[in-house]
Amino acid sequence: MDSNDAVRAWNHAGNPTPLERLSRYAQALSVGHRIDVYRTLTDAQEDHAILALYRVDRPQATIADLHQVAPLGLSSYHQMLHDLAREGLGPVEIGPYR
C-alpha cells in the first residue's frame, strides 16, 4: 500500500480537500510511516502521525508545539486518521521519529 491508497480513502470518505493537498498529507504521512492495514496506535504513535499531517501546514512544528494546540485545532487531522481506519488502513511507524 502507498500514499495513493490514503488519498483514495480520504476521497472516498468525502474529504472536501483538493486532491493535490490530500496528496501532500499522504506523502507527509508516508515519511516515517507506511500505509498498511489498520492497527490500533499507541498515544505516542498517534501523536507522531498527527504531527506528520500537521507539518504539512506548519513545517517546523514539534511534538511540544502539537501539545500546545487546542484539541479542536487538531480535529481535522484526527478525522483524517479516522477516515483511514474506516477504510481498514492506518499508518505504521517504520523507524524512530524525528
Residue 97 pLDDT greater than 80, yes or no: no
Domain for residue 12, yes or no?
A: yes
Domain for residue 30, yes or no?
A: yes
Residue 82 is predicted with a pLDDT of 96
Q: What percent of the chain has pLDDT over 70?
A: 96
Residue 18 pLDDT greater than 90, yes or no: yes
Residue 24 is predicted with a pLDDT of 97
**Domain coverage including residue 74:** 3-93
What are the pLDDT digits (tens) for 28-72? Answer: 999 888 899 999 999 999 999 999 999 999 999 999 999 999 999
Q: What is the DSSP string of the chain?
A: --HHHHHHHHHHTT--S-HHHHHHHHHHHHSSEEEEE--PPPHHHHHHHHHHHHHHHSTT--HHHHHHS-GGGGHHHHHHHHHHHHTTEEEEE-S---
Domain for residue 89, yes or no?
A: yes
Domain for residue 51, yes or no?
A: yes
Domain for residue 98, yes or no?
A: no
Domain for residue 81, yes or no?
A: yes
Mean pLDDT of 71-82: 96
Domain for residue 35, yes or no?
A: yes
User: What is the number of structural domains in the chain?
Assistant: 1
